[in-house]
Amino acid sequence: MNPPNYLYSGLLFAAGLICLVVSLLTWQLRRPARGSVSLVVLLLALGWWDITYAIFWADLPGLTPYFWLDITYVGAVIVPTSLLVFALQLNGGENWLKPPVIVVLCLEPLLVTLALWSDPWHNLFFGGQREMNAGMILNGGAVFWGNVVYSYALILMAFVLFLRGFFKATGLYRKQAGMILLGLGITWLNSIIFVLGKNPLPGADNTPFSFTLTGLFFAHALFRYRLLDVVPIARSMLVDSMSDGIVVLDSRNRLVDMNPVASELLAQAQIGDPLEKIEEVLPEIVRQFHDKDNLSAEIMLENPTRYLDLRISPVVDSRQQALGRLIVWRDITQLKLLQLELNELATRDMLTHAYNRRHFEELSRVEWARSVRFSHSMSLVLLDIDHFKEVNDSQGHQTGDLVLAEFAKLCEQAKRDEDIFARWGGEEFIFLLPETEGMQAFLFARRLGKLISETPIKGNDSLVNITCSLGVTSSNTTDDSLEAMFQRADQALYEAKRAGRNRAVLWEDKSKEALTP
């Protein structure tokens, strides 16, 4: 088959035009992504190869008899090099792309092209075997065969890189690698057909078509499986067996990768989803940290309650350019529950589970400062179980402990949510009543004393009836103090005991009048 052949020329021109359009779209839409430049160069080289070969088959005049066929080699020698660079960039081999390697990769296509154009002076490329009007080069000299071996070695290396990436990848990444391998497989299949002499286009080189189909498979992966848009940046940092949840976001806040622990929590999220999709599962993380590039924090999730130690760090390339963010969290629920339990032990009385005296004093100082700031009243009710020693002596300390625990439960049930209740020491307990006047506190104390006296407590062998004495005081002047209130409550309690017990006494500035239930 000799030129002109307008059908073959038209098909080649259409294939080249498609490559140019895809390269333009890649440059516009995926320019910041890793591997985008090498893919654009690959597609441009394929477009050049197709279009110049199309002009040759259209038999348009050139500067020399072989001009249009020779100029196709500019694209042919660039394709293998750009393909290998693209494979290295997408499969974690960027460390190989050092300046000396890049120089060698660029130098070989240049030297081969110069050898082709200067062949009449040395015969190293064609070896004196060139035929007029031949549609392809089947025989040549040392440079020709050296370039053939070199080019297919680069293509083989790229194929191996993508094959290795395919077996390592999961989910969307495997689909990407599979589509690329399918495209490269067409190139190898075409080469085998060509070697076996089964070329469907006798007298023509169908290699540009096979590489164009490869480029189109790349384009399909580009737009169907988000090739370059969803690149496994930081995949080497993700260990599927880790107990920590790991999520990688790209520079546009889209989900790029996650390990199995993260996928359990983000069950509805898919690779490529925007951050808003994650917000449906982890709203607190997104709301608080959506714009943070470097952060460490502890957060709580609800339904069910979980505590996470969250860390966010930037993901950058070798040039320190931002690629996205790495979010790592560790489930510290058990540790946090233990911490809360220890904190509970530090603030609670072990027997009655009421606040202990130290913690009560801390809380009362906070409440006192608030009452002073907003000019609110505050009251204290100090109470003591009457004749508790007789319970211990007659029924034993085990029954005495039961009485203390049940007594504390009754007090907890009687108080408001904002009231603070604590064990003051021994059989003494205390209430702090925020925003409560003295008479209101006194009425509360009377109701509580009545409840205690009317509620038998179950001991080991029998029911135990107890009563209590209560001393009540409230803040009364701007010159008052918390320490003075404690003293007044203690004095009012002493008055209640001296007056016969089982009663409440309200301490007043001018007099201490006993008011019985």
Kindly list the catalytic residues: 427
Distances (CA, A) of 333 to 14, 246, 339, 410: 61, 17, 10, 32
Q: Locate 484 and state its tokens.
A: 């003075």
Contacts of 322 (CB under 8 A, 6+ apart): 251, 293, 314, 315, 316
Distance, CA of 217 to CA of 220 (rounded, Å): 5
Element (H, E) at 367: helix 357-374
Q: Locate 175 and state its tokens.
A: 């689909």
Distance, CA of 65 to CA of 23 (rounded, Å): 31
- Chain length of the chain: 517
Question: What residues pair up with 311 in beta bridges, in sequence order?
Answer: 296, 328
- Report cis status (omega within 30 of 0) of the bond before 3: no
Contacts of 62 (CB under 8 A, 6+ apart): 55, 68, 71
**What's CA 378's distance to the chain center, in Å?**
48
Contacts of 301 (CB under 8 A, 6+ apart): 282, 284, 307, 308
Q: CB neighbours (10 Å) of residue 308?
A: 23
How would DSSP label each residue in 254-286?
Answer: BEEEE-HHHHHHTTT--TT-BHHHHHTT-HHHH
Distance, CA of 459 to CA of 179 (rounded, Å): 78
Distance, CA of 452 to CA of 266 (rounded, Å): 52
95: phi then psi, degrees, rounded to nearest 5: -65, -20
Rg for the chain (alpha carbons), in Å? 42
Contacts of 22 (CB under 8 A, 6+ apart): 43, 215, 216, 219, 222
Sign, CA dihedral 30-33-38-42, equals negative
Q: Locate 66 and state its tokens.
A: 């072989």
Distances (CA, A) of 476 to 156, 188, 256, 363: 91, 95, 64, 20
Distance, CA of 371 to CA of 418 (rounded, Å): 13
How would DSSP label each residue in 308-327?
Answer: EEEEEEEEE-TT--EEEEEE
* 294 DSSP 8-state letter: S
* 235 DSSP 8-state letter: G
